[in-house]
Amino acid sequence: MSTHEKFEAVLTGVIRRNPGEEEFHQAVREVLDSIRPALVRHPEYVEAKIIERICEPERQVIFRVPWEDDRGEVHVNRGFRVEYNSALGPYKGGLRFHPSVYLGIVKFLGFEQIFKNSLTGMPIGGGKGGADFDPKGRSDREVMRFCQSFMTELYRHIGEYTDVPAGDIGVGAREIGYLFGQYKRITNRYESGVLTGKGLAYGGAQVRREATGYGCVFFAEEMLRAAGDGLDGKRVVVSGSGNVAIYAIEKVQQFGGVVVACADSSGYVVDEKGIDVEVLKQVKEVQRGPIRDYAMARRHATFVPGRRVWEVPCEVALPCATQNEVSGADAATLVANGCITVVEGANMPTTPDGIRVFTEAGVRFAPGKAANAGGVATSALEMQQNASRDSWTFTYSEQRLQQIMQDIHARCFETAEEYGMPGNYMAGANINGFLRVAEAMLVQGLI
């Protein structure tokens, strides 16, 4: 059987064993398509069935989450934790609370997390979790009751040496606080390292909130520098207006770029003077309002309901919202309007058709598993501080983050060149991330 036939057989098996999980199938196909050259050089990984093993999670946990709203009505949601691969360290990955969450989403995110965490060079494995609960529009007390019920089941599966969750979409500082409090109450242990993204008052790390957005922009700057360019003076569009997007916008502007548009599920705003980050934070982090409220606060800004932010002309695009948000048509629009660089701040936000359009047009493209690794890298730094009962300054933590993102860029860039695909950051990220995990799996035996 040829290498191509073996890969197709693996993918066919993944689809057969995981029916209906389209995002997971997409993530596996993307990685398998990229790492073929590595397996030609390393037939020992083929012999040891590393591919088949890495596509199957080590453990999948699904549980019910009953809770009561403020009116006394009982609700039942479904919770998940996929502990995907621990070859490099304890499972590490966020929790997502969103109505779209189902097993296929969690598995796709966990699979991506394996390679993302490997790229950081830090001792963390890959995992992911969440629930089909929507915190939007819920009171603090309702969110607290849900988080307490969720952790009442999850606590038995996690620990600082086993599995260390963090936040993701719908899980911010508020939710992490409630989750940590319930874990502490149930276990009777102050185990700071069991969750990351905590508040600074009880073991959290400086820059953790900003890390994914900042890291994405550090990576974008390195990409542009490698091409003899930079963010200074660039016109930038960012999708989303949550945690990742807000701090990506902040860091772009610190590098001299101008972010002219951002979005949420209701539409997008255009601010030709540059998005005012403080106003955006007030709308999204304090008021928890829709993006149209930004345009009401900045009268010269325009709110465009129900349309896609990718129709706004830009030179640099940062997808920072959710998976598959950039279609082939969106990519074609971006290219036609002069976009030269796309850096993913979210997990797999570009569809295969979109990636194909960017590649054929010669657009520099950085996949999320490399460009948005700043969040999990800073979570690992938080784990270090918790383990040593230490705390670092904002400046020092940001310097560590920037160095990690520069190192990730170098790994992707150099690996792509080594395998004869210069400038192909997707291939560089997938191959480099895979090789470190594969070697660890090989030497640890058949487990």
- From the CA atom positions of the chain, what is the Rg in Å? 21
User: What is the average pLDDT score of the chain?
Assistant: 96
166 and 279 share a domain? no
38 and 171 share a domain? no
Q: What does the DSSP assignment read for 312-360?
A: S--SEEE--S-TT-B-HHHHHHHHHTT--EEE--SSS-B-HHHHHHHHH
In a domain, residue 446? The reply is no
CA 182 – CA 371 distance, rounded (Å): 33
Average pLDDT over residues 43-48: 93
**412 confidence band (pLDDT: 50, 70, 90):** very high
In a domain, residue 368? The reply is no
Give pLDDT, residue 111.
Answer: 97
220 and 347 share a domain? yes
Closest to 274 measured CA to CA, from 241, 307, 236? 236
Percent of the chain exceeding pLDDT 90 equals 96
Q: For the chain, how many structural domains are there in total? A: 3
CA 96 – CA 104 distance, rounded (Å): 13
In a domain, residue 19? The reply is yes
82 and 172 share a domain? yes
CA 349 – CA 179 distance, rounded (Å): 28
Query: In terms of residue numbers, what domain contains 43?
Result: 3-54
Please say which residue of 347, 362, 377 terminates a domain. Answer: 362
CA angle 108, 114, 115 (to 5 degrees): 100
Average pLDDT over residues 186-208: 95
Give pLDDT, residue 5.
Answer: 77
Other CB atoms within 10 Å distance of the CB of residue 445: 7
70 and 49 share a domain? no
Give pLDDT, residue 4.
Answer: 67
For 203-260, how does the pLDDT look when each residue is reduced to its tens digit (9 = 90+)?
Answer: 999 999 999 999 999 999 999 999 999 999 999 999 999 999 999 999 999 999 999 9
Longest dimension (CA), the chain: 64
49 and 187 share a domain? no
114 and 8 share a domain? no
Please say which residue of 162, 191, 220 terminates a domain. Answer: 191
In a domain, residue 406? The reply is no
CA 301 – CA 295 distance, rounded (Å): 5
Instruction: Say which CATH number the domain at 118 has.
Output: 3.40.50.10860
- Is the predicted pLDDT of residue 1 greater than 70, yes or no? no
Average pLDDT over residues 345-360: 96
Give pLDDT, residue 6.
Answer: 78
Contact yes or no for 436/444 (Cβ under 8 A): no
For 360-401, how does the pLDDT look when each residue is reduced to its tens digit (9 = 90+)?
Answer: 999 999 999 999 999 999 999 999 999 999 999 999 999 999
237 and 341 share a domain? yes
Q: Which residues are identified as catalytic?
A: 128
Tokens representing 344 are 């993913």
In a domain, residue 382? The reply is no
DSSP label at 192?
G
For 60-89, how does the pLDDT look when each residue is reduced to its tens digit (9 = 90+)?
Answer: 999 999 999 999 999 999 999 999 999 999
Q: Is 39 helix (H, G, I), strand (E, B) or coil?
A: helix
In a domain, residue 31? The reply is yes
In a domain, residue 322? The reply is yes
